[in-house]
């Protein structure tokens, strides 16, 4: 489905609540200033309600705070996730086939990449259910929850973690060919080969073509086109833990 950032320049109809002109993401501590290894490539912050354009409680667009303007959106109202400003959570459901996406970046992000995803499972279900994927149906990097049993990272090869729960978990995915790693809450859960694919575009809560929606709440997602040091990962984990009361 060819969906791009549909609300960047449209005239919004009456009844559409717009909370779109967000305050600068330059917080005292944030993904923008806690890492020196490379710039933040995208940053989606559920606690910053001003970055969300809404129709009622349904999310039309979620703005990227990195400065690269990689906003994700959905033009189909019935398939939009919902947002609760009181908790900062975006709720995605399998039954409604919800998602947000951006089909393409200006240029693909070649490896290595490091992605942070703070989310929780609300209802396990059978089969692969995607939390983060590329913009199109191809063999880009994907993160998913598999058969209600394990958290997973996959391109063509696959990494399986050893844990599965419905907690608010910090997922850190280092995509670096044969030396890829998957941490959950700062603990290394899996390592191995994730292939050589680049990452182009973003899909949250589903596969790019739909049909693999995840029952989950997403709080925050950000990523870097580089490897991070252990010190940087520790700082980012501490930032998320304090911010979200984990």
Going 39 to 44 to 45 to 51, the CA torsion angle's sign is positive
Structure-token pair, residue 160 = 């399986």
pLDDT > 70? residue 186: yes
The pLDDT score that the predictor gives to residue 13 is 37
DSSP for residue 31: T
Per-domain residue ranges of the chain: 17-244
Angle value at C-alpha 136, between 41 and 56, nearest 5 degrees: 75
Neighbouring residues of 79: CB distance < 8 A, sequence distance ≥ 6: 96, 97, 98, 99, 210
pLDDT > 70? residue 22: no
Of 119, 132, 190, which Cα lies nearest the Cα of 182? 190
Highest mean pLDDT among 30-34, 137-141, 175-179, 202-206: 30-34
pLDDT > 50? residue 190: yes
The CATH number of the domain covering residues in 17-244? 2.60.120.200
Instruction: Report the percentage of the chain scoring pLDDT > 90.
Output: 51
pLDDT > 70? residue 15: no
Comparison of pLDDT for 43 and 105, the residue scoring more: 43
pLDDT > 60? residue 28: yes
pLDDT > 70? residue 205: yes
The pLDDT score that the predictor gives to residue 49 is 97
Going 125 to 127 to 131 to 135, the CA torsion angle's sign is negative
- pTM (2 decimals)? 0.84
The predicted-structure confidence for 61-105, as pLDDT tens digits, reads as follows 999 999 999 999 999 999 999 999 999 999 999 999 999 999 888
Structure-token pair, residue 168 = 């608010």
The pLDDT score that the predictor gives to residue 197 is 81
Give the residue-averaged pLDDT of 179-204.
Answer: 87
**Cα separation, 44 vs 117, whole angstroms:** 10
Comparison of pLDDT for 47 and 134, the residue scoring more: 47
Of 25, 8, 33, which Cα lies nearest the Cα of 236? 33
Give the residue-averaged pLDDT of 38-54.
Answer: 98
Comparison of pLDDT for 143 and 197, the residue scoring more: 197
Find the helix or strand (DSSP H, E) in which 57 lies. none
Structure-token pair, residue 4 = 């791009």
Of 116, 129, 241, 123, which Cα lies nearest the Cα of 173? 116
Mean pLDDT of the chain: 82
Angle value at C-alpha 211, between 57 and 147, nearest 5 degrees: 100
pLDDT > 90? residue 220: yes
The pLDDT score that the predictor gives to residue 199 is 85
Lowest-confidence region among 7-11, 22-26, 120-124, 218-222: 7-11
pLDDT > 90? residue 134: no
Of 246, 240, 232, 197, which Cα lies nearest the Cα of 27? 240
Confidence of residue 8 (pLDDT cuts 50, 70, 90): very low
Lookup result for tokens 């990962």: 233
Residue 178: what are its φ and ψ, rounded to 5°?
-70, -10
Tell me: cis bond preceding 129? Omega within 30 of 0 counts: no
Neighbouring residues of 188: CB distance < 8 A, sequence distance ≥ 6: 181, 182
């Amino acid at each position: 489905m060819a969906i791009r950032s549909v609300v960047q320049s449209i005239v919004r109809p009456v009844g559409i609540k717009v909370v779109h002109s967000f305050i600068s993401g330059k917080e005292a501590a944030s993904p923008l200033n806690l890492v020196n290894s490379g710039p933040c490539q995208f940053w989606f912050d559920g606690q910053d309600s001003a970055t969300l354009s809404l129709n009622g409680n349904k999310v039309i667009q979620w703005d990227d705070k990195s400065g690269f303007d990689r906003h994700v959106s959905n033009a189909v109202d019935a398939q939009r996730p919902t947002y609760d400003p009181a908790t900062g959570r975006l709720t995605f459901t399998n039954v409604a086939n919800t998602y947000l996406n951006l089909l393409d970046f200006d240029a693909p992000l070649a490896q290595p990449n490091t992605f942070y995803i703070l989310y929780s499972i609300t209802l396990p279900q059978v089969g692969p259910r995607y939390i983060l994927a590329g913009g199109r149906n191809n063999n880009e990097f994907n993160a998913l929850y598999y058969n209600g049993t394990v958290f997973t990272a996959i391109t063509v090869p696959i990494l399986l973690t050893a844990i599965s729960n419905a907690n608010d978990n910090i997922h850190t995915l280092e995509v670096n060919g044969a030396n890829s790693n998957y941490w959950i809450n700062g603990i290394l859960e899996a390592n191995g080969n994730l292939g050589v694919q680049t990452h182009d575009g973003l899909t949250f809560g589903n596969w790019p073509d739909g049909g693999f929606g995840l029952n989950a709440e997403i709080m925050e997602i950000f990523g870097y086109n580089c490897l991070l040091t252990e010190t940087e990962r520790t700082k980012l984990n501490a930032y998320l833990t304090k911010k979200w009361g984990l």
